[in-house]
Amino acid sequence: MRLAPLLSACALLAACTPEVGPELTVEENLATPAETGKGGGTALSVDPTVQPNATGIGYNGGPVMLGTPDVYYIWYGNWSGNSATTILPDFMANLGGSPYFLINTTYYDSAGRHVTGSVNYAGAVSDNYSQGKALSDARVQAIVSRAITSGALPSNANAVYFVLTSSDVTLSGFCNGFCGWHTHATIGGRDIKYSFVGNPEQCPRSCAPYANPGPNGNTGADGMASILAHELEETVTDPDLNAWTDSAGENADKCAWKFGTTYAASNGGTANMRLGARDYLIQQNLDASNGKCETKLPGTPPPPPPPSDGPKVTVLGPSAGTIIHAGGPLDITASVTDPVAVSSVTVSWVAPSGTTQFTTTKNAAGNWELTTTLSTSAQAGTRSFTVTARDANNKTATSPSVTLTVQ
Ligand SMILES: [Zn+2]
């Protein structure tokens, strides 16, 4: 889909079709201002030279990653004080098994064994510029090799090693040809899958164009979450660059920079999914069972409503026009729904001689009971009340006014 950028990346790197050799690096995932998610009709085209199928992507017969792949992070450069080191481990710990990542279960190998959609975040190490600040593809591999051969990280062929570079680290092509890539190499006698993901703070317009402000308040990390998801789903379905790929790229390439339905996260940033306790804006992935770009596997549960929805308050009783009496009880029942915890429910009812105090309890049905006893001197006439709820995100909602008759 990213026609001009991809072609230029191919010309520059001569590394776009997996048929040319096993050491090829798949480089992709560039967003430029010219391709802000408006994908053309060619996104699902299939290269006629590979095995055609109805999935929107060609399969070349190679392996997929089975079982539960491990994911390791290598924090390269200076990440001191950066909330990315909290956000991105949390992201990966909640990605496996999510309705989003289960889209990868539509991919399988030549024996019919499917990708499970499980992922295990297995830990991280830091690398303090062992290869300098100006990286090459070979130096990225050296970073991975050093982490494994030093024993800092285990040698694991069913894992993906992510080299995450701080915003002061450069790599030829990053920001103007790609935002991340994945490949594989023999390291220590094993077929090691690894990926480069740079910090888009270096080029937010190219690599985090929708993440400002990101839903987690960190433009670089919010952009990296989407690129990490993209590279990981390509790696589990095409680890050796000879499985699910064709001339238009791998699975995530077909849906690059498409986000589907979005919502406003609690900080105002744009998001399209919630994983664990955080919201993210993650590019869609290709469902090989129907050839469509999706945010979640069809049939999986809908995501919980976003916290920005706030409370919804409905007064269940008393109904308008109900007659109440001076010196008698006033019992109000209200239903409050909220995707996050409700912190308070209050009644606005102004008595002739000051504010009336209500006792608030939650009943067995989960509704809120707000009770008081009217003053014996309550004046006859009509009087109105509203119920206001406040939640853990400090969002409030107030019911429509209900008018009662005091006799
Ligand atoms: Zn890609």
What digits encode the pLDDT tens for the residues 168-197? 999 999 999 999 999 999 999 999 999 999
Cα–Cα–Cα angle for 32, 225, 252, rounded to 5 degrees: 60
Distance, in Å, from the CA atom of 68 to the CA atom of 78, rounded to the nearest integer, reads: 30
- List 246's β-bridge partners, or say none: 249
Distance, in Å, from the CA atom of 296 to the CA atom of 390, rounded to the nearest integer, reads: 31
**Coarse DSSP helix, strand, coil percentages of the chain, rounded to the nearest 5 percent:** 20, 30, 50
DSSP secondary-structure letter at 357?
A: P
- Measure 180 CA to ligand 1 centroid, in angstroms: 8
Instruction: Assess whether pLDDT exceeds 60 at residue 395.
Output: yes
Instruction: Assess whether pLDDT exceeds 60 at residue 53.
Output: no
- Measure 263 CA to ligand 1 centroid, in angstroms: 25
Residue 380 confidence (pLDDT): 83
Helix axes 84-95, 219-237, angle to 10 degrees: 30
- Measure 88 CA to ligand 1 centroid, in angstroms: 19
Cα–Cα–Cα angle for 211, 213, 171, rounded to 5 degrees: 45
Does residue 350 or residue 72 have the better pLDDT? 72
Rounded mean pLDDT, 231-241: 97
Distance, in Å, from the CA atom of 287 to the CA atom of 236, rounded to the nearest integer, reads: 14
Instruction: Assess whether pLDDT exceeds 80 at residue 6.
Output: no
Instruction: Assess whether pLDDT exceeds 60 at residue 7.
Output: no
Distance, in Å, from the CA atom of 8 to the CA atom of 20, rounded to the nearest integer, reads: 18
Residue 345: pLDDT band by 50, 70, 90 thresholds?
very high
Cβ 182 vs Cβ 252: under 8 Å: no
Least confident stretch, 97-106, 292-301, 375-384: 375-384
Distance, in Å, from the CA atom of 12 to the CA atom of 54, rounded to the nearest integer, reads: 32
Q: Which domains does the chain have, with CATH numbers?
A: 3-307 (no CATH), 310-406 (2.60.40.10)
Least confident stretch, 22-31, 146-155, 201-210, 354-363: 22-31
- Measure 230 CA to ligand 1 centroid, in angstroms: 6
- Measure 178 CA to ligand 1 centroid, in angstroms: 9
- Measure 181 CA to ligand 1 centroid, in angstroms: 7
Distance, in Å, from the CA atom of 125 to the CA atom of 76, rounded to the nearest integer, reads: 9
- Measure 288 CA to ligand 1 centroid, in angstroms: 15
- Measure 54 CA to ligand 1 centroid, in angstroms: 20
As to burial, measured by CB atoms within 10 angstroms (0-12 exposed, 13-18 middle, 19+ buried), residue 215 is buried
Residue 39 confidence (pLDDT): 23
Distance, in Å, from the CA atom of 232 to the CA atom of 92, rounded to the nearest integer, reads: 10
Residue 55: pLDDT band by 50, 70, 90 thresholds?
confident
Instruction: Assess whether pLDDT exceeds 70 at residue 317.
Output: yes
Q: Is the peptide bond before 213 cis (omega within 30 degrees of 0)?
A: yes
- Measure 252 CA to ligand 1 centroid, in angstroms: 5
Share of residues in the chain with pLDDT > 70 (%): 83
* Most confidently modeled range among 31-40, 273-282, 382-391: 273-282
The whole-model pTM stands at 0.68
Across the chain, mean pLDDT equals 84
Instruction: Assess whether pLDDT exceeds 70 at residue 271.
Output: yes
Residue 304 confidence (pLDDT): 60
Distance, in Å, from the CA atom of 185 to the CA atom of 202, rounded to the nearest integer, reads: 27
Share of residues in the chain with pLDDT > 90 (%): 68
- Measure 373 CA to ligand 1 centroid, in angstroms: 66
Residue 394: pLDDT band by 50, 70, 90 thresholds?
confident
Instruction: Assess whether pLDDT exceeds 90 at residue 114.
Output: yes
DSSP secondary-structure letter at 273?
A: E
Half-sphere exposure at residue 325, Cβ-oriented, CA atoms within 13 angstroms: 2
Rounded mean pLDDT, 2-7: 28
- Measure 253 CA to ligand 1 centroid, in angstroms: 4
- Within 10 Å of residue 359's Cβ, how many Cβ atoms? 10
Residue 285 confidence (pLDDT): 97
